[in-house]
Every structure is written in C-alpha cells, then in structure tokens.
Structure 1
C-alpha cells in the first residue's frame, strides 16, 4: 500500500486534514515556518495551534505565467481562517474573475501533487469554494 506524506510540515493529514501554526505565547501572532523569535513582538516562546479549516478570501490574483511545467492559469489567494492569514492556491474553481471574489467562503482541501519512485505520494493543500 503506497504511503502518503504532507508536502509541507504544517499540513496534518488523516481523517480531518488541517494546518498547524506556531503561535507566539506573548502576542498570539501565528507563523507557519520555524521561528527563533516572533516577528511581531520579538518573544521567543511558541506553541502549536490548529488553524480553522474554513475561511474567507481576502485577496487573490489569477496567475497566467509560471515556471515551466506549472499549469496556468491558477488562482493564488490569501485566506483569512478565523484570524490566521493563509497563503494558498484556490483549487476546484475556474481561474476567472467571474468565479472568484474577495469575501468568497472557502474550505481547506487536499490533493496529491506527485509520487516518488518508491510510490510515496506527496499531498498538498489548497482551498476550494464552500458549496
């Protein structure tokens, strides 16, 4: 049976896939990458917190030119997930101004993005419209 692994460290797979952020214990700022100090208040203590799986598009752009091998067009967006800002692609939606809008309600979705020689499948995340 092939194994699946998350494409990024902050994606948790399983029955209910979700993102996990590093939250500053002093000011509550959240980051997805490893930090030595908070960019907002310079504190050095963090805790892991689950990020809401539903959100709202705050900004987006339709990308029409990308590196070779990357299919275009696609939608890159900033999604507000209950106060945590997440940058991700919108998936399962037409990449047109008619289909995407600021304020659009979206939910976390996962999809395979590649398989290595051993059959291990990498799973990444995006956001799709709530139906």
Structure 2
C-alpha cells in the first residue's frame, strides 16, 4: 500500500481513523491546535491528548455555492458535536441539499484521498457522512 499522510496533525490514520484533541488539564476544554495556555481558563499547566469518538451529531450546516477557483461547488460544510467537542468539516456521501441534511442527524467520521504527489504519497483528509446505528 502506498504511504499516506494525514492532512492535519489531529487526524490519526490506521484501522480505525479518528481525531485527537488537546484537552486542558485544568478545565477540560478541547482544542485541535498547539497551545501554550488554555484559551478557556488561561491555565498553562498543559494539555493531554484525548481520542474523540468517530460518531457524532450534526449541529448546523451550510451549503457553499461560491468558492475559490478550482474548488467544486456546491458542497456542504457543517459543525459536528463529537461528545462535547465541536468539529468543523465538510459533509460527504450526501447531496449538498438542505432537503438531505438536518441539524441533529447522526454522522460518522470518514477519510478520503486528496491527491498523490510524485513520490506516491497520498494526502488524506476527513469529513463526516450520514450514519444511522
């Protein structure tokens, strides 16, 4: 299998792809970027990695109809609640149509290839697809 690299540092690939947030040791606020101090409580005691669930709830969404040159439109983007952690991502495997999307619908993390460089390394991105238990 050709090598794959995640597009963002907080995407973990493998048999069970998932996202990892940085959780404040004092107030448990979660972030996806590197921080020296917590933006929620101001603590500088540090952060721990916490794996997020693969399933969540779509809280809100928009259908994007105008984008930068070369970006195909329309597409749907949303905010997903993963057990209390908000994640912004595109909605995939569903038509970008408000009749197909609704706040409160269950979604599941999915990964996909974004392109391969001349060395055969594929960049992997993530989105959320509708999911019912």
Bin for the TM-score computed over the shorter chain = over 0.9
Question: Is it true that 1:49 corresponds to 2:45 in the alignment?
Answer: no
Structure 1, unaligned stretches of length 5 or more? none
Alignment partners' CA distance in 2, 1:84 and 1:52: 10
Matched position secondary structure for 2:81: strand
Off by >2 Å, runs of 4+ in structure 1:
none
Name structure 2 gaps, 5 residues minimum: none
Question: How many aligned residue pairs are there?
Answer: 131
**Cα offsets for 1:16-52 (capped at 9, x unmatched):** 0000000000000000011111110011210000011
2 CA distance for matches of 1:64 and 1:37?
37
Q: State the match for 1:64 in structure 2.
A: 65
* Deviation of the 1:117 alpha carbon: 1.0
**Given the two structures, how large is their TM-score scaled by the length of structure 1?**
0.98
SS of the aligned residue for 1:85 comes to strand
Structure 2 match to 1:25: 25
SS at match of 1:8: coil
- When normalised by structure 2's length, the TM-score is 0.96
- Deviation of 1:2 after TM superposition, in Å, equals 1.7
